[in-house]
A and B are shown apart, each in its own frame.
Chain A
Amino acid sequence: MDWDASLLWQFDLLLLLMAVICAIAALSLKDLISCAVIGGVYSFLLCLAWTEMLAVDVAFTEAAVGAGISTVLILGTVLHLNRRSKD
């Protein structure tokens, strides 16, 4: 192999830092629909991080399942509950 496809640590650090910020935000926001959307963003950032870590199958599954199905299911449930949370 004449290219080094792995371990761009700057990219990795940036993605994981943004993922940590999204995780904190998903738990602190008061509006549950925003929590669902930020959860989708978090899944997508982790998918990018795993692609960088050479786990392409796992990243594919996480993009389809986490950023797609999981977000839609949480949104579909939140519309049957109270949209505002007290903490």
Chain B
Amino acid sequence: MKQLTLVLVTLIGVLLLQAAMDLPDWSDPASPASLHLSSHYLEKGLEETGVPNIVTAVLADYRSYDTLFETVVILAAGLIVLTILRRTLRRRPKAVRPRPQRESQDIILQGAARLLVPAIQVFALYVVAHGHYSPGGGFQGGVIFGTSFILLALCYDLRVVLARFREKTVLFCCAAGVLLYAGVGALCMALGWNFLGYAALAGMLGSTEVMARSHGILAVEIGVGITVMAIMVSLYIDLASGGDLDEGL
């Protein structure tokens, strides 16, 4: 089986190399990928949206429809894991795994966690808010915020985190982020423009159209951040406890 796979994989490699010969050279400024639409985004992005980070501008404004459904995909993945693993009734006994009993408190780990977790959370909020001007944005900030809860669960116990951030709140946050994102889009549609056309908010916020687009981008990034944070926490608590939520790693 393995020899056959090696032959097959080498064959596929040769075929792909044959196709790669026709592709443009690396880092060629005149390659077709860089000519048509992305030059428009680079040249007009700042003056149309007021956001210097062109990746955030394209992600949340020019291609905001894709980002909305990407957020929905993440939400769906979290819900699927919940559906597969989470049970309240245990029908067969848990497999016996030899694990050391943790009676003592790990002073170093818990002290370090207590110092680090607030800093991580503030950094995550900074990454979301400063995504217009530096690398960052909703996804990165949301993931970093989620890892702060995972750090807490690793250094203390899963029950400590669940006492602070209950499962119902986690699921509420997952849905609230997507609701915020789609809500901004629906609001733009109700004000007469296209779905997710942020220039509609100019009248409501009392600013120019360019600044309205910038604020619309911030609003949807916050929505994405909330959903991603909640889904990361939900994935961890379901996978690390095997669906029982009684003890973690």
Contact = CB atoms under 8 A, between A and B. Distances in A.
A14 interface: no
A76 B153 CA distance: 12
A18 interface: no
Interface string A58-75: 011100110011001101
A68 to B, nearest CB: 5
Contacts of A59: 135
A79 B143 contact: no
Nearest to A73: B239
Nearest to B235: A73
A57 interface: yes
A31 to B, nearest CB: 16
Contacts of A72: 147, 150, 154, 236, 240
A1 interface: no
B150 to A, nearest CB: 6
A4 to B, nearest CB: 11
A6 B27 CA distance: 9
A61 B135 CA distance: 10
B155 interface: no
A57 B136 contact: yes
Nearest to B228: A65
A56 interface: yes
Nearest to A76: B240
Interface residues of B, number: 24
A34 interface: no
Contacts of B239: 73, 76-77
A60 B135 contact: yes
B143 A80 contact: no
Contacts of A80: 97, 242
Given A57-B55, A57-B137, A64-B147, A73 B249 contact: no
A61 B139 contact: yes
Interface in B126-173: 135-137, 139-140, 143-144, 146-147, 150, 154
A75 B143 contact: no
Interface of A: 6-7, 56-57, 59-61, 64-65, 68-69, 72-73, 75-77, 79-80
23 contacts: A7-B27, A57-B135, A57-B136, A57-B140, A60-B135, A61-B139, A64-B140, A64-B147, A65-B139, A65-B143, A68-B147, A69-B143, A69-B150, A69-B235, A72-B154, A73-B235, A73-B236, A73-B239, A76-B240, A76-B249, A77-B239, A79-B249, A80-B97
Interface of B: 27, 53, 55-56, 97, 135-137, 139-140, 143-144, 146-147, 150, 154, 232, 235-236, 239-240, 242, 248-249
